[in-house]
C-alpha cells in the first residue's frame, strides 16, 4: 500500500503534527525522514538500541519517488493503519482529488 499525490509542495510539519495528534497513544511518533528523497519515518527500537544499529534498521520508512510515498525494498514499511493515518493527514491539507491511497485491500467477497 502506498500514497500517490499530484502536488509538488507540501508542509511536512503540518502533516507530522496532524498525524501525531491523531495516532494511537501506543504508537511512536511520525518524524521527518532525513534522506535525499525526503519522506517520513517511525522509530521501531528504543534509543539505547539505536546506538549500535544501522540507521535504516531501526525505523519504518516511506520515501518520495515520482510523487509516491512508498517503502524501498529491504526496509521496514509502515503498517496498514499507519499508512491510512498518513493518508488522512495529507487529506487535511490537500484536496482528495490530489491524493490517492493505492493498494488498499478490498473486503473479501462472501461465497
User: So what's the pLDDT on residue 46?
Assistant: 60
Residues 6+ away with beta carbon under 8 Å from 96? none
Residue 106 pLDDT > 70: no
Q: Are 76 and 44 in contact (CB under 8 A)?
A: yes
Write out the residue range of the structural domain in which residue 55 sits: 2-102
- Decide if 111 is inside a domain: no
Is residue 107 assigned to a domain?
Answer: no
Asked whether residue 110 is domain-assigned, the answer is no
**Predicted confidence (pLDDT) per residue in 51-60, tens digit:** 666 777 788 9
Looking at residue 10, its pLDDT comes to: 85
- pTM attached to this predicted model: 0.84
Helix residue spans in the chain (DSSP H): 12-22, 47-50, 80-91
pLDDT value of residue 45 = 64
**How many structural domains does the chain have?**
1
Contact 86, 78 (CB under 8 A): yes
Q: Is residue 22 part of a domain?
A: yes
The predicted-structure confidence for 4-52, as pLDDT tens digits, reads as follows: 999 888 889 999 999 999 999 999 999 999 888 889 999 986 655 556 6
Domain-located, residue 94? yes
Residue 109 lies in a domain: no
Amino acid at each position: 500500500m502506498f500514497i500517490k499525490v499530484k502536488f509538488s509542495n507540501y508542509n511536512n510539519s503540518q502533516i507530522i503534527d496532524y498525524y501525531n495528534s491523531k495516532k494511537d497513544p501506543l504508537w511512536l511518533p511520525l518524524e521527518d525522514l532525513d534522506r535525499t528523497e525526503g519522506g517520513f519515518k517511525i522509530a521501531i527500537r528504543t534509543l539505547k538500541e539505536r546506538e549500535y544499529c544501522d540507521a535504516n534498521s531501526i525505523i519504518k520508512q516511506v520515501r518520495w519517488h515520482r510523487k509516491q510515498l512508498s517503502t524501498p525494498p529491504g526496509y521496514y514499511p509502515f503498517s496498514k493503519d499507519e499508512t491510512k493515518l498518513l493518508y488522512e493527514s495529507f487529506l487535511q491539507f490537500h484536496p482528495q482529488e490530489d491524493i490517492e491511497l493505492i493498494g488498499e485491500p478490498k473486503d473479501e467477497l462472501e461465497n
